[in-house]
Every structure is written in C-alpha cells, then in structure tokens.
Structure 1
Amino acid sequence: MTTTSPATPHELSPGTRAPLDAALTRLRAGAAEWTALPAADRRDLLRRVRVAVADAADDWARIAAASKGLSARHPLAGEEWLAGPYAAIVALDAYADTLDALARGRSPLSGIRTGTAPGGRTVVHTSPLRFSDRILLSGYTTEVWLQPGITSHEARDAAGLGSRHPLRSTGVGLVLGAGNVTSIPFLDVLYELLAEGRVALLKVNPTQDALVPVFERAFAPLIEAGFTAVASGGGDVGAYLTRHPEVDHVHITGSETTFRAIVGSGADRLRVPITAELGGVSPIIVVPGRWSKADLRFQAEHVATMRLHNSGHNCIAGQVVLLSRDWDQREDFERELRRAFARTPKRPVWYPNAASRLEHVRAAYPDAEWFAGGTRAITAGGGEIESTEYFAPVLGVIDLPGTDSAFVDAAIDHANERLTGTLGANVLVDPVTLRELGEGFEASLARLRYGTVAVNAWTAFGFLTPTATWGAFPGGTVDDAPSGIGIVHNALLLDGVERTVVRGPFRPFPRSLTGGRFSVLPKPPWFVTSRTGRAVSEGFARFRIDGRIGPLVATLLRAFGA
C-alpha cells in the first residue's frame, strides 16, 4: 500500500469510480443475506471455495513465484506453495470444522484440550488437531493463551464470534491487502466474513496485481453470492475506498506509515473503525547452553530462515538476535550464522524500495558484513535496527549480559522495552537448559509482550496454523499501534485472545531422538537452506488438497534429501 493521503472522490476518474461504487452497492445488499445465512450453509459455501482454491493452486504458486523473480522450480519457490494455496486450504478446512460444530449446536472447542498458564490464563491447545498434522508438522504445536481471568467454560461459551451470534449485520468491510505474502489478503477476507460478520471488498496491493484473476477464481462462490468482491489499483483507489460511505470497517496489513495516512487527522480523520497488522522489529532470543556442532549449524540456519525467507520482506521476520556475551559458544554460533547467510541461495530483493533501504543500512552500519553479492547483511550492535522495521534482508546481533535465567530476564526486558512493535518473538533454547529453567521459563514467556511467541520455532508457524491467532499483543489503539490492532486467522473463533505460543523441536530427525521434543521431520521444508523445499512444500499442499497417501509418502521421502 502506498502512503498517499486520503483521496477525495473527484481525484478518481468516473470510469475508475463506477465499478468500485457498484461493487460496494452489491456488497451492501449482500450483507443482510450473509447475516441470515445459517452456519451449515456457510460451511457448505466454504467447501465450494475450497474446490475453487484447489483448481487455482498451480497458477497461484506459479504466478506468485514469478512476481518475486523465482522460477516455478526454484527451491525457494516452495515458500509460495506454503504461504499461498496451502495456507488457504488449511484455513478453509479449519473454518469449515468450526462452522460444522456450530451447525450441530456445539462449541468449536468441543473435544479440544484446555489448560492453564501463569497469571491466571486459560490455554487452548489449538494444534495439532488432525492426525495428518501430527505427521506433516511433527513436533510442532500451538496454543492460544486467553486474557487473564477468562475461564475455559467462558471460552467454550464465547467461541464462534460473528458466526455463532449473527444477530445483526455489521455491514461492509474493506480489506487493504498485503503486498508481500499472497495468502494474507485471502485469509483477511475470511476473517471479516466469519469472525466479524462482514461482507468484504478486497483491494489488492499493486505488487500482487498479477494474482487478481487467481483471487477472483478462488473467491468465485463468494463473489457470485454477493459476499465478496475484488478490486485493484494504487494508493488513490485505496484512499477513495477508505472514505467511501458504503464502507463500515477497514482492515489493513501494511506499514505503520500507511496506517497513519489512512487514519488521518482532524477533519480528515477516518470515520469508521480500523484493525491492522503492521509488523515490527521481532527479536530472536538465543538462550545460552551447551550446543553440539550440529545444533549450532541447524539453529543458525533456523535464524537465517527467519530473516531471509521471502527475501526478508516479511512483517513476520526476525530482525534482531539477542545473544549472551557470556556464552562461551557465542563466537561459534555467530560463525555458523554467517555461513548460513552465505550459503542460502541468492534471490532478488524484490519488494518496492527495499534496495534503497539496503543502501541506507550501508550508511548507518558501515561495519556490517554483506553476503550474496551485497544483497543481505548482518550488523553488530543496537541503534536504528531496534526501532525501524527494515522489511529487507538485514539481521542485527546485539550482545547482552548473563546466562541462564539472568540472561532470559535481560533479553525479555530488552525486547519489551527497546524493540519497536509487539507482533512476534522467537526463543531458541536447548532441552537441557529448558529443563533447568523449569517453571520459571513459562513465567518468562508470560512477560513477553508479543502477540505470538515461538519456542524453538519461528513465529511464521503460528501465522500458518489457522487455529492459532495472528496479530499484535493486545492494547493497540488508533493513536498508538506500533504493530496494529486486533487479530486474524483464529479459525476456532476464540474471544478474549492474548497471544499464541508455538513450540517446536530443538533438533530435527534423527537427532530429535537424543532429547527434547521428538520430530520425524528432518530439515523443515520452509528452511531457506533446504534443497528440496519446493518439492516438499508443494507435496504438503497437494496432500492437503486431495488427501492422497501415495504422493505424500514420496514427499516425505524427498524431505530426507534436504
């Protein structure tokens, strides 16, 4: 989304305004019909959307890869399968399960385990819920922590949101789509419909204009019913739509600068509510312990993935590594991190203005170490990298004092107080150290003020899991929202959410047999160093589409060639 000031109607030509006005008029008529649609009919409609997504999946992944300068068979093109069709399919399945429960008069949480977390929090164990996920995503789990004081009984009673209590129409929502990850606009539209009870107009970001026909195919059942529409255009179109009298709510995934331009001020202040996901500077807290050489290499590749996935153009990216200066393996880890940055396949830095941000980093951090022909960097020390989301392949490393719980406390304080944003935080800790930290580690997690916290995983896993939630830590307002307001995904339609916690294996198979969380996965296919990432990611997506076991077995065998 470009950062233009809100446009007045005469700034768009009649030929541009007319189809936008017509789409909103049709959506207004469809809003009441959507509200009256029973849960069973919504479920059946989503199943038709699923068929449409499956039909468009090949084109979706191919066009998305090409838009980022990758061939369809490039190892990193697997990102576009996982973050596109796969994410859409698993979300549709999860929402359909929720609607099916509601149609049968049950809570979406029926049969789902709950527990407790420090501070009087109820925990909902949100994945894995299917046997297939226990295999495909072996060793990874998600849990949603509710705000303190909400009981499990209250959570079960409230689950369903706008699909459980559609008492009145909440009107027409405008979704200003993200420009970096192709499933984000699709998933945001689903959340408007199912959680908020609003029909939705999706305004696609110009970086994804080539995918407009794909989105129209994927949403065809919703478009035909008058519940969704898709539009394209630049910042002038987005600005026109945010001020349109037929729009009752705005949701944006983008930068805080764009958010501020939309909200406006004074007489030009946005008149309708807005929710947003705005990114931030995400920490990667590396807890000192005794790591093997294989551990050092694997976790360095893990960190490189957090930064270099999608060429660093992710709000979900880890940007600052917090290391202990007292860790006797700190230099070994940093050496492996540099090697991981060097051996990750080179790729275009494709997002608008990213090249100029890299030039800015050269000036701000003259001692930075550059890799891949000067297209990615590692910096040392704090400063601007703690307060500015670069949205580019630049990783900062900051030393802090202490070991054990003293380091954990120092790192959490630094993340909470020095880094901009509250979207996601990552923590890497070996099984022995985790056991030694004991219950105090869970209390430390509770102190991290982030909407998603990942332990021995990347927060992207929470983004990709539809029954998890994604968004800033609660408390953002229109006047102070460094990472946004509200949440999305949340296919169980939980109310009163505080955060999602992701947990993963410290070691891949077969080293996962030596301690910690067991996993049958070797190197995960989303690692940027995976040689079979494209084939395995595509295989995962195709299995979720058609459920065929034979091709899945072949896919899992390919995974061991990573």
Structure 2
Amino acid sequence: MTTTVAATVEAAVSALRQGEIVWARTALPARRRLLDQIHANTARYSREWVETAAAIKQLPLDSPLLGEEWVSGPYSLLTGAAALAESLLALEEGRSPVDGYPIHAAPGGRTAVDVFPHGLFDWLLLNGFHAEVWSGPGVDAETVRARAGLGQRTPNQTGGVGVVLGAGNIFSIAPLDVLYQLYADNRVVALKLNPITDPLLPVLEKIFAPMIELGFVRLLTGGPEVGTALVHHAGVDAVHMTGSALTHDAIVFGTGEEGARNKAAGTPTLTKPITSELGGVSPTIVVPGRWSNADLRFQAEHLATQRLHNNGYNCVAAQVAVISADWPQKDRFLAELRAALERAPQRPDYYPGSAARVDDARRSYPDAERIGARTLITGLVPDRNEAALRTEYFAPVLGVLELRGDPAEFLAQAVRVCNDEFEGTLGVNIIADPATIDRLGEHFDRAVADLRYGTVAINAWTGLGYLTARASWGAFPGHTLADIQSGIGVVHNGLLIAEPERTVVRGPFRPAPRSLLRGEFALSPKPPWFVTNRTGATTLRRLTDFAKRPGVAALPGIFASALRG
C-alpha cells in the first residue's frame, strides 16, 4: 500500500469517525430532510448522470437503450430516497413504516406486506403489476409491524463506520447501498467506487453534498489497493459489497493458494461483518400452455429483455430458460426467441471481460448458436456439471434447458432443478398464462413458495423488484461466508422491514389492450424496459421526471409515449 493510499483512507475514516458522533445526535426530522435534499439533488443532476452513464457504456445520446440509464440510475435513487423519507416520517409520528400497507398471510406461516402499488399514481403508471415482501416462516403481522424501522428505531445507537464497495454495472446500486447503510444499519459510510464508474464521481459528490459536508459520507476512487485498505482498516466496522462470489472470497479469505486454504478451513482473514449482493445464474421457468402467436412473440421479447437488458451485465439477468420438452409450442417459442434476440438493438461490450466470458461459454458449448453478438445454447440438461448452470457469464449468453412432464410435473421438477442445480439465489422468473395458473391452482402456489430465491417474479422480470423502492433486494437467506452463493443480507427495502425473506412480483401475461380482450384486467402496454420497445428512452425519461415531482399533469405524456412503444 502506497503512502498516498494510506493517507487517503486514513483521512476518510477519521472524518467519518467524527461524523458518526454528529449522526448519532441527528434526530429523525433532520435525517428525513437530508433524504429530501438527496432527492432534490438527484433531480437537479439527473441529466448529467445519464449523459455520463451513456459515455461510460458507449451509448449515443439518441439511443433507444438510454431508457435503461434513466430508470436504473436517477429514477431508482429518487424513488429510494422518497420511500425512506416516508418511513422516517412514520417513525417520527409514532407509527410503523408498514402502517397503511395491506398485510396478509403468505404460504408456510409467512406474512406478506403489499408494497406495490402504493397509491393512485403507482396503480396508474404500472397497472397490473404487484409486489409484496414476505417474512420468514413463523413471523406474524404484529412482529413485522413492531420491528419495521431497523436502525431508525434507535437513531442514537449508531453502527460505526461502514464501507460500500460499489458496483460497476448498474449505477444506482452504489448510492442506494450508501442510503441503506445510513438508514437501515444506522452507520456512516465510505463508498469506494468501482473504477468503471469513476466518471460519475462529480455527479455523486453533488448529489451527496449535504451528507459529505456533515461527515456522514465519503466517496473514494482508485484500484483494489484502496478497497483493501478500507475494508481492513481498524476504524471500519462493517463492509457491504456488490460483485462476484470470486471477489467476495478474495476479500474475505484472501487470494491464491492461501485464500483457498483459508476458505477450506473456514478461517476468514476479514473478521468484521460483511453483507453482499453477488448475482448468480438466474433461471426463467416457462410453464407450457396454449398461447396465441402474439403471446409467443411477446413472451419471447420478455425473455430476451431479461437477458439483454444492459447487455446481460446484470446480477439478475436471466441466463437459462427452463422449458418443457413436451410443450407442443416449444419450437415456435424458440423460433420467436431467436428472432427477438436478433431484433434487439446491438450495443458495445463495455463491461471488462465480456468477450472472454462469451468465448468461455462457446468453448464449453461449441454447438452454441451465434445470433449476431449474442449466444444461444440449447440442449442443456439437469446436471451438476453443466457449466451454464454453475457459471455466471455476465454477458449476452442465454441457455435453454428442457424438462419433461405435464405442466404440474414440469413445474415441480423445474423448482427442484432451480433450487438444487443452479448457482445463486438472487432471482427467478416464472412465465405462465393465467389459464394454466388457474388450472395448476395450489401446485402453482406451492411452487412459488418452494423456490429459494430472494425475488420471485411471475409474468414479470425480477429486475422490476430492483426498481421497486419498498421491495427488498438480495439473496435468499441462509448463505454462509464459505458458501456465499448470491450473498448475505438485503438492500433497498424502503419500509425497513426486519429480515425479509423474499420479494414476490407479479405482472400481466399480456399487454393492453390484449390483456383486456382476454379477461386479464391490466391496463399496462408493452413495458418500457423491454429492449424491443421503440419509445423506451422517452417513456423512462418522462417517468424519471415524474419521480422528481409527482403530479397529474405529467401523466398524459408518459401514457402517450408508453402506448407508442
């Protein structure tokens, strides 16, 4: 470690140690006003944020893909700050943050809190979409209500200094993780940016200026030596990271042969608490049914979006589609999937190592199809040695695994395979038409409950769970440092629910107006986050503008753009 790095890290931690004293004395109303300032600054600098993101990802400013940067950038921070501010207001007034939200029983003795839609605007903007947060088994509604608020229930009992090792793919991850450390864990934060995102430093400094001035936040750049110095600094009490399991293990156990020995012996070199969000191999279960040609095309585009959003550089990007070998429409669906992969806009491979990971997939599967810059692997089978089920490619690579059986048998087998043979537990998607869901009845409900994933999305993409500020986001609970999978702990969770088990997201199987014609009451057209949506950039920019200052006047423009998509 160089003298410069040591001095930089020491200065940051020392300032935060002083800032923690001030944070402990900062009452809830002042903490809420800081969130309001973060919201206002995010609104003010949102265009600079998106233009910087476009430069990093090598996207022209007129690209239809720029909607991804609006919604997964400033929009997510705007809604996250607003949700936390609402929770603090509830605590100020002596209420629980979950008061006013429908709470009901969920399978297996769990309790569910309906977190979306929340209010008329949610209902109008994403009509037909729904999200709920489930507790673990045996937790009743009163316990959920009493424990919601986490660190803000005792604001003067602070948690020391935390370090956030930021992500380099989705640019709201790091700032949202900072807010979670501050408000859920009640500790001040040093954010070490991923080098990919260093150009965003000036924007983030403007957004977090009020907290930087008070000593609650410090932003640092640099290489691995800066991160290493931070996490091992004696003045740092906890660490949160986003990245790969390999990076996690290097931080916790060390590198090389010594690191491997430490992991095998269960002796971490980093002994302070560490939470993490690490991705994995996310599946999409396609339940067989009788679909129209329009259904086949729409859901093929849906699956392509789950893989190709951000060019596949998402911790929850769908990597393997699990489909029925006995489905009469299987071949037609796969034909539509190939067409959707080809139709989706091409984009640069901006994320380091992408080409090498694609090459690795193609070496493992020499018969894989090349669809432009995308790779489609068919013929996968349940097998613990199947590379595509165990390796997160983090690139535009999609696999197809086939299972046999009628819909009920297929779904039960798919749940078992996804639970037991896929690496990671961050998110799983299920695509099934309403008639099939009705026929499956309790078999379908059991499948949802049995899936051991932090977010389960039904006829929606788990990415929507990320975008829902009041939903929890993270791996399914139960992982250990030695078998980390998709990580430990959650983030986002704007209602500050204690120890949530999962988020369950539901969406319409068909977009409007076909949904209405087929008896599915949902008014949402083709989602603006689809990679094939022609007006996604405009719609999601307008949605971000709405999040800056919600109001009825903004709705017609959003609806008009969404309908044109």
Which TM-score band applies after superposition, normalised by the shorter structure? over 0.9
Greater CA drift, 38-47 or 289-298: 38-47
Q: Match for 1:528: what amino acid?
A: V
Give the alignment partner of residue 155 of structure 1, picking from 131, 144, 157.
Answer: 144
Write the distance in 1 (CA, Å) between the matches of 2:210 and 2:564: 40
Shift of 1:337: 0.3
In the TM superposition, residue 262 of structure 1 has moved relative to its aligned partner by 0.4
Report the identity percentage. Answer: 49
What is the deviation of 1:36?
A: 2.7
Which residue of structure 1 lines up, in the alignment, with residue 324 of structure 2?
324
Separation in 2 of the partners of 1:167 and 1:405?
Answer: 52
2:121 equivalent to 1:132: yes
Kindly indicate whether residue 87 of structure 2 is the aligned counterpart of residue 98 of structure 1.
yes
Gaps of 5+ in 1: 1-10
Select the residue among 500, 504, 507 that pairs with 1:501. 504
SS in 2 for 1:17: helix
- Residue identity opposite 1:103 in structure 2: E
2:130 pairs with one of 120, 124, 141: 141
Q: Distance in 1 between matches of 2:491 and 2:313?
A: 20
Contact 2:368-2:375 within 8 A present in 1 as well: no
Deviation at 1:370, TM superposition (A): 1.1
The answer on 1:231 being equivalent to 2:220 is: yes
Tell whether the 8 Å contact from 2:28 to 2:155 is kept in structure 1 after alignment.
no
Moved more, 544-553 or 99-108: 544-553
8 Å Cα contact 2:367/2:377 also seen in 1: no
Task: For 1:422, give the aligned amino acid.
Answer: T
The code of the aligned residue for 1:220 comes to A
Partner of 2:379: 380
Pairwise CA distance, 1:254: 0.2
Partner residue, 2:184: 195
The residue correspondences of 1:300-339 to structure 2 (distance < 5 A) are: 300-339=300-339
1:3 corresponds in structure 2 to none
259-268 vs 289-298, which deviates more?
259-268
Residue 80 of structure 1: how far off its partner (Å):
0.2
Distance 2:56 2:339 in 1: 28
Moved more, 153-162 or 24-33: 24-33
Q: Residues of 2 paired with 1:130 and 1:317: CA distance?
A: 29
The superposition leaves residues 354-405 of structure 1 with CA deviations (integer Å, 9 ceiling, x where unpaired) of 1111111221111111122x34434431420000000001000010011221
Q: Write the distance in 2 (CA, Å) between the matches of 1:28 and 1:404.
A: 57
Distance in 1 of aligned mates of 2:350 and 2:21: 41
Deviation at 1:516, TM superposition (A): 5.9
Structure-2 residue corresponding to 1:169: 158
Whole-angstrom CA distance in 2 between matches of 1:22 and 1:131: 47
- C-alpha offsets along residues 109-154 of structure 1, whole Å, 9 cap, x if unaligned? 1111111111111111111112111111111111011001111011
Give the partner amino acid of 1:305.
Answer: T
Deviation string for 1:449-491 (max 9, x for gaps)?
A: 0010000000000011010000000101111111100000101
Give the superposition deviation at 1:437: 1.1
Match of 1:117 in 2: 106
Partner of 1:292: 292
What TM-score comes out, normalization by structure 2 length? 0.95
Corresponding residue for residue 24 of structure 1:
13
SS at match of 1:497: coil
CA distance in 1, matches of 2:213, 2:522: 44
Letter in 2 for 1:518: F
Q: Is the contact between residue 516 and residue 523 of structure 2 (CA under 8 Å) also seen in structure 1?
A: no
**Alpha-carbon distance in structure 1 between the residues aligned to 2:544 and 2:463:** 16
Using the TM superposition, give the Cα deviation of residue 551 of structure 1 relative to its aligned residue in structure 2, in angstroms: 4.0
- Distance in 2, Cα, partners of 1:65 & 1:379: 33
Out of 391-400 and 64-73, give the one that drifted further: 64-73
Q: Superposed, which structure 2 residues align to 1:365-514 within 5 Å?
A: 365-372=365-372, 374-382=373-381, 383-514=386-517
What's the counterpart of residue 256 of structure 2?
none
Say whether 1:214 aligns with 2:179. Answer: no
Unaligned runs of at least 5 residues, structure 2? 254-258
- Kept in 2, the 8 Å contact 1:304–1:337? The answer is yes
Aligned twin of 2:59? 70
CA contact (8 A) 1:431 1:515 kept: no
Letter in 2 for 1:392: A
Conservation of the 8 A alpha-carbon contact between 2:280 and 2:424:
yes
CA distance in 2, matches of 1:36, 1:457: 43
TM-score (norm 1): 0.96
Instruction: Tell me if the contact between 2:107 and 2:449 (Cα under 8 Å) persists in the aligned partners.
Output: yes
Return structure 1 stretches of 4+ with deviation > 6 angstroms. none
1:270 is paired with a residue of what secondary structure?
coil
Q: Distance in 2 between matches of 1:57 and 1:403?
A: 49
- Name the stretch that deviates more: 180-189 or 232-241: 232-241
Aligned length: 550
1:117–1:442 Cα contact (<8 Å) kept: no
Q: Which of 555, 560, 564 is the equivalent residue of 1:561?
A: 564
Partners of 1:433 and 1:547 in 2: CA distance: 38
1:494-550 deviation per Cα after TM superposition (whole angstroms, max 9, x unaligned)? 013111000000000101103464322211110000110100010100011122544
Separation in structure 2 between the aligned mates of residue 524 and residue 399 of structure 1, nearest angstrom: 28
Judge conservation of contact 1:320–1:386 (CA < 8 Å) in 2: yes
Match of 1:271 in 2: 271
C-alpha separation between the residues in 1 aligned to 2:115 and 2:551? Answer: 25
Distance in 2 separating the partners of 1:437 and 1:71 = 46
* Pairwise CA distance, 1:431: 0.6
- For residues 67-122 of structure 1, give each alpha carbon's deviation from its aligned partner in whole angstroms, at most 9, with x where no partner exists: 11101220001000000000000001100100000011111111111111111111
2:46 to 51, 57, 62: 57
Asked whether the equivalents of residues 167 and 173 of structure 2 are also in contact (C-alpha less than 8 Å), the reply is yes
Query: 2-side partners of 1:352 and 1:379: how far apart?
Result: 26
Distance in 2 of aligned mates of 1:361 and 1:466: 34
**CA distance in structure 1 between the aligned counterparts of 2:231 and 2:129, rounded to whole angstroms:** 39
| Residue range with higher mean Cα deviation, 308-317 or 380-389 | 380-389
Give yes or no for contact 1:262–1:270 (8 Å, CA) kept in 2: yes
Structure 2 counterpart of 1:51, one-letter code: A
> In 2, distance between residues paired with 1:426 and 1:268?
34
Distance change in 2, residues 1:238/1:15 (3 Å): same
Opposite residue 320 of structure 2, the aligned amino acid is: V
- Distance in 1, Cα, partners of 2:432 & 2:374: 30
Q: Which amino acid aligns with 2:314?
A: N
Q: For residue 314 of structure 1, report the CA deviation from its aligned partner.
A: 0.5
Amino acid at match of 1:246: G
Further displaced range: 29-38 or 91-100: 29-38
Counterpart residue number, 1:359: 359
Cα distance between partner residues in 2 of 1:271 and 1:378: 41
Whether contact under 8 Å (2:54, 2:61) holds in the other structure is yes
Asked if the contact 2:83–2:469 (Cα under 8 Å) also holds between the matched residues in 1, the reply is yes
Query: Which sits farther off after the overlay, 253-262 or 28-37?
Result: 28-37
Distance (whole Å) between structure 2 residues aligned to residue 412 and residue 114 of structure 1: 27
Conserved 8 A contact 2:9-2:229: no
SS in 2 for 1:470: strand
Once structures 1 and 2 are overlaid, which stretch shifts more, 35-44 or 546-555? 546-555
Report the AA paired with residue 401 of structure 1: R
Give the match's secondary structure for 1:246: coil
Closer, same or farther: CA 419–268 of 1 in aligned 2, 3 Å: closer
Deviates more, 1:270-279 or 1:361-370: 361-370
